[in-house]
Structure formats: structure tokens, C-alpha cells
Amino acid sequence: MTKKPEDEKAAAGGKVTGMRRSRPCPICSKPSTKENYPFCSDRCKQVDLSRWLTGVYAIPASEEDDPDESDFDLQD
């Protein structure tokens, strides 16, 4: 089996590009870096973490009825 020229470049330490497109930092909109993805810096990572810890960001949750409580409502 013959090696393709691309395989030889990769084996010789050629440049390999990632398949993911670069996105801007969600905090400051600067280009993100590979080391801090999806952020551009450690500072922006810390700002995001702080927002989660202080409740600025929140994931909404729906409260489901407790099945045990509904049994009491049905009894007369």
C-alpha cells in the first residue's frame, strides 16, 4: 500500500488543522484561543465562572408535582 503525500507530511510533523471553526469569546468577543476555548483568556474564564457562582447565569428548572401529594388531593 502506497502512502499518500498528506500522510507523509503528518508523519513528518506537518501542520494539522482542527476541524472546529474558531468562535469569538462569549465574554468579550475577541477570538478564542485553543488553550482557553471557548474563551480568549484566563480572565474571561474567571468572569464566566463568577457569573455562574453568583447566580447571574441560571438554568431554569420546572418543578414537577410530587406524586405522593397528588394522592391526598384526590381523596374526599
Binding-site entries for Zn(2+):
25, 28, 40, 44
Residue 15 identity: K
Binding residues: 25, 28, 40, 44
Name residue 31's beta-bridge partners: 24
Cβ neighbours of 40 (radius 10 Å): 20
